[in-house]
């Protein structure tokens, strides 16, 4: 298995533009998570899905952020409009079971820079 | 809800020194415990995990961690660190009552050659 695949690896965009981050989880993993990592705030859970259904989006910072999972093999995180304070590394992770007993498998992340 | 505390935000060691990173969690029920490592510029990788059995868990690269239930702790140890261990280390906990991992704030380890 190729693991959790995220694209793009790096994204530089101008303030006000729409940004879409993509994630392909490991096949068979029923849970998918989006995290954001910054120096100031560390690792923050934004939203997670179970069987393509959003379960908890309480970590999404504001309405500019939205996430979808149209099928078991694809998820997107969209920021519209983007702002400089959104600059961070965004990680996607997937896991097999309800308790994360096998841990989470993380993608390589997308480093977003909003100028 | 559970929470995780990592006491040391930054640790600097010389090569061959022994390492112990603290991790405490707050949750009264059954927990699953993890340590993840993030090397510079890379994603998080699982270092070791505990969810039952022997409270002393051996992981990759010579790391180990001990679950002490009475202290709500899961400290990470390595007898002799190497320069290549320079990374950020995250403790995490999940519970059998839910399915989310809760991460600690991380500890940045720098090993001087």
Residues counted in chain B: 113
- Distance in Å, alpha carbon of B46 to nearest chain A alpha carbon: 7
- Distance in Å, alpha carbon of A80 to nearest chain B alpha carbon: 25
Which residue matches tokens 């390492």?
B19
Residue A47 with chain B: CB contacts under 8 Å: none
Nearby residues of B66 by Cβ (< 8 Å), 6 or more positions away: B55, B56, B57, B73, B74, B75, B77
- Distance in Å, alpha carbon of B8 to nearest chain A alpha carbon: 14
Per the CB < 8 Å rule, is B95 touching A99?
A: yes
Please tell me which of the candidates B34, B42, B98 has its beta carbon nearest to residue A103. Answer: B34
* pLDDT given at position B98: 65
C-alpha dihedral, A101 to A23 to A62 to A48, nearest 10°:
-20
* pLDDT given at position A13: 97
Mutate to test the interface with A, among B44, B87, B88 (most CBs of A within 10 A): B44
From A26, A81, A31, A27, select the one nearest A54 (Cα to Cα).
Answer: A31
* Least confident range of A41-50, A98-107, B34-43: A98-107
| pLDDT tens string B30-51 | 888 999 999 998 989 999 999 8
Cα A56 to Cα A59: distance, rounded to the nearest angstrom = 8
Is the predicted pLDDT of residue B99 greater than 90, yes or no?
A: no
| Chain B contact residues (CB < 8 Å to A) | 32, 34, 36, 42-46, 49, 51, 90, 94-96, 98-101, 103, 105-106
* pLDDT given at position B29: 84
């Amino acid at each position: 298995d190729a693991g959790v695949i995220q694209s793009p690896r790096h994204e530089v965009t101008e303030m006000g533009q729409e940004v879409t981050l993509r994630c392909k989880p490991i096949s068979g993993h029923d849970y998918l998570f989006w995290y954001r990592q910054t120096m100031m705030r560390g690792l923050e859970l934004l939203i997670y899905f179970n069987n393509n259904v959003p379960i908890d989006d309480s970590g999404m910072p504001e309405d500019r952020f939205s996430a979808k999972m149209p099928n078991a093999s694809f998820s997107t995180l969209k920021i519209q409009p983007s702002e400089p304070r959104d600059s961070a590394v965004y990680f996607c992770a997937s896991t097999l079971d309800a308790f994360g007993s096998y841990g989470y498998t993380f993608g390589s992340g997308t480093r977003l820079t909003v100028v | 809800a559970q929470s995780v505390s990592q006491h040391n935000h930054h640790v600097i060691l010389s090569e061959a020194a022994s390492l112990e990173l603290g991790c405490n969690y707050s949750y009264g029920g059954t927990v699953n415990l993890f340590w993840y490592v993030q090397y510079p510029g890379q994603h998080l990788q699982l270092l070791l995990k505990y969810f039952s059995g022997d409270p002393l868990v051996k992981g990759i690269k010579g790391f180990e961690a001990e679950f002490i239930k009475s202290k709500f702790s899961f400290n990470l140890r390595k007898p002799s660190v190497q320069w290549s261990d320079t990374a950020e280390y995250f403790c995490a906990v999940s519970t059998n009552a839910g399915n989310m991992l809760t991460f600690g704030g991380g500890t940045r380890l720098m090993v001087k050659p």
